Amino acid sequence: MDKMKSAMIMAARLYFFEIVDRFEEEQEAQQERQEKDDG
């Protein structure tokens, strides 16, 4: 049971970091677009 629990926690953690990573990339892309529009 403990192995299942830790495996699920690890999977959730990987999933969470994947989402955060994608979110940050999306924000950076939006900032670059805004800077191009301003300049």
- DSSP assignment string, the chain: -HHHHHHHHHHHHHHHHHHHHHHHHHHHHHHHHHHHHH-
Q: Is pTM beyond 0.85 here?
A: no
Measure the CA–CA gap between 8 and 3, rounded to whole angstroms.
9
Tell me, what's the pLDDT at 10?
97
Written as tens digits, the pLDDT of the chain (39 aa) is: 799 999 999 999 999 999 999 999 999 999 999 998 887
